[in-house]
A and B are shown apart, each in its own frame.
Chain A
Amino acid sequence: MTLDQWLADAKADAERRGVEGLPALLETLAAATAALRAADWNDVADGPSPVDEESA
């Protein structure tokens, strides 16, 4: 799902549930999610496994 589609769906759901103030906060979350998705570590899907790291 694209971030734009997710945001539109999430805001519509928050409005349907009547949680006042939540749609504006979801904009903030969307900005953070965009930053997270742009991070370069996502490009390395075959990086060290968490188990290997814990035992290092």
Chain B
Amino acid sequence: MSDVLDQTIADLGPQVARGSVKAEALVERCLERVAARNPSLNAFITVTADEALAAARQADAEIAAGRHRGALHGMPVSLKDLIDQAGTPTTAGSRVRRDHRADRDATVTTRLRDAGAALIGKTNLHEFAFGTTTEDSGFGLARHPIDPARSPGGSSGGSAIAVRTGMSLASVGTDTGGSIRIPAAACGVVGLKACHGEISADRVVPLSRQLDHVGPLARSVTDAWLMYEAMRGEPRRCGEQLEGVPVRGLRLGLLRAYAFDRIDADVEASVLEAVERLRRAGAEIDEVRLPHAPDIAAIYLHLVLSDAAAYHTPTLDSRPGDYTPNVRLRLEMGRYVMAEDYVRAGLGKRVIRREVEAALDGRHGLLLPTLAIPAPPLGAATVRITQGDEPVRTAMLRLTQIFNLSGHPAISLPCDPTPAGLPVGLQIAGRRDGTLALLRLARTVESVIAHA
């Protein structure tokens, strides 16, 4: 049998339910992995070992007594340190909040506890979720689990590292412009952004409430589904399967223009190979366009800067030196956006939503890369792509922020790595209010693209 830390929640659930794998042993293995790898990767800001072990022992006792709560019962799960876990600090990756202590759980935390998850700790992030690399954290930068000279992506970088390395079997992240999907793609795990508002953001430190999404990072589409359902308050039973959809008859739109205009050649080849495998399996794939896609970055920038600045104004004035320099400057920039331009950006957001709706008309989903580049080197301001040099932040946000503006559900799943062994993410966007349908589609895509 393979190492338990190489398995998924869906694999382990029945073993824990039978008692052949003890939840306590599972949590102990994750804590050993944290002890071995966290000093170099810096995925966790706080490790709640005692709390996780107590939850695991309780799970083992309940299961032995015949009270099994479902698929997540006894499973080690981590939370991005932007989400309240009662009794622990929610630092948001910032020294600004170093004295904080949550007096109660966020709604998603409560739901995961109710589903029986063992909360193993709070993961590192780009300060206040305002960045894509997890380099600007008040608690030190995080490193990529395959190449420590690279960024794991962000802002939920610690969550992606934890899932990839087995420090936890799944994690909860947040996504305002791509902060779940970007690190998922960079680290080779699955990341889901559901529809806007579908998963509670109560007691989650905001970046932009109109763009913020809470969602899972996991090792498979099925595990992402199990987490998604539990976070909605609908935990699935152990052994329940996420049924895929028949690949024949699938109609998918490839966002060829814009999504492939400024891209790394290896990423392009990997994503197009995944698309070709879907075609060979019987999916009908045509090209779609978003006419205002070139305006997306400007729309997003004006909304996120203004919303973030409004939240941070008191501490920008009282404790400016407690922010990391880059994040402080971006927040300060937001204080200069004019009201009329914020309104224009709001209008543009609705234009993008209508165009994504139109692109999905008659189709089950849209296909595009998650990230236009592989995980970038730490410290890099620009990266070289086929078309020239590109700012790292621009390259990393370009293909994910679309669906924060539109509110449509989107998921990133691994496709073939680059020749250098770096992960690549395929992104699929689904219909509004259709997260479950997107997950079923992604389950099929995951199965098809795994086979050359």
Within 8 A of B (CB), among A20-43: 21-22, 25-26, 28-29, 32-33, 35-37, 39, 41-42
Q: Is the CB of A41 within 8 A of B351?
A: yes
Residue of A nearest to B347 (CB): A41
| Chain B positions within 8 Å of A28 at CB level | 333
Residue of A nearest to B291 (CB): A40
Known: A25-B333, A29-B337. A42 touches B344 (CB 8 A): yes
- For the complex, give the distance between the alpha carbons of A49 and B390 in Å: 37
Q: Is the CB of A21 within 8 A of B295?
A: no
Q: Is the CB of B337 within 8 A of A42?
A: no
B101: interface (CB < 8 Å): no
* Segment with Cβ contacts to A, from B12-20, B120-128, B299-307, B373-381: B299-307
Instruction: Name which of A21, A22, A41 has the most chain B CB atoms within 10 A of its CB.
Output: A41
Interface residues on B, range: 20 to 34
- For the complex, give the distance between the alpha carbons of A26 and B335 in Å: 10
| Chain A positions within 8 Å of B298 at CB level | 32-33, 35-36, 39
- For the complex, give the distance between the alpha carbons of A28 and B381 in Å: 15
Within 8 A of A (CB), among B254-305: 292, 295, 297-299, 301-302, 305
With both chains docked as a complex, state the minimum distance between the C-beta of B431 and any C-beta of chain A, in angstroms: 14
- For the complex, give the distance between the alpha carbons of A29 and B351 in Å: 21
Tell which of A21, A29, A37, A47 touches B344, judged by Cβ atoms closer than 8 Å: A37
Tell which of A14, A33, A42 touches B347, judged by Cβ atoms closer than 8 Å: A42
Residue of B nearest to A29 (CB): B333
Tell which of B299, B325, B354 touches A36, judged by Cβ atoms closer than 8 Å: B299
With both chains docked as a complex, state the minimum distance between the C-beta of A6 and any C-beta of chain B, in angstroms: 6
| Chain A positions within 8 Å of B354 at CB level | 53
B98: interface (CB < 8 Å): no
- For the complex, give the distance between the alpha carbons of A28 and B344 in Å: 18
- For the complex, give the distance between the alpha carbons of A6 and B302 in Å: 15
With both chains docked as a complex, state the minimum distance between the C-beta of B309 and any C-beta of chain A, in angstroms: 12
- For the complex, give the distance between the alpha carbons of A42 and B336 in Å: 21
Q: Is the CB of A26 within 8 A of B333?
A: yes
Show the binding face of A for B, using Cβ within 8 Å. 1, 6, 10, 13-14, 19, 21-22, 25-26, 28-29, 32-33, 35-37, 39, 41-42, 47, 50, 53
Show the binding face of B for A, using Cβ within 8 Å. 292, 295, 297-299, 301-302, 305, 325, 329-330, 332-333, 336-338, 341, 344-345, 347-348, 350-351, 353-354
Nearest 9 CB-CB pairings of A with B? A32-B298, A35-B298, A36-B298, A10-B336, A41-B351, A25-B333, A32-B301, A36-B344, A39-B295
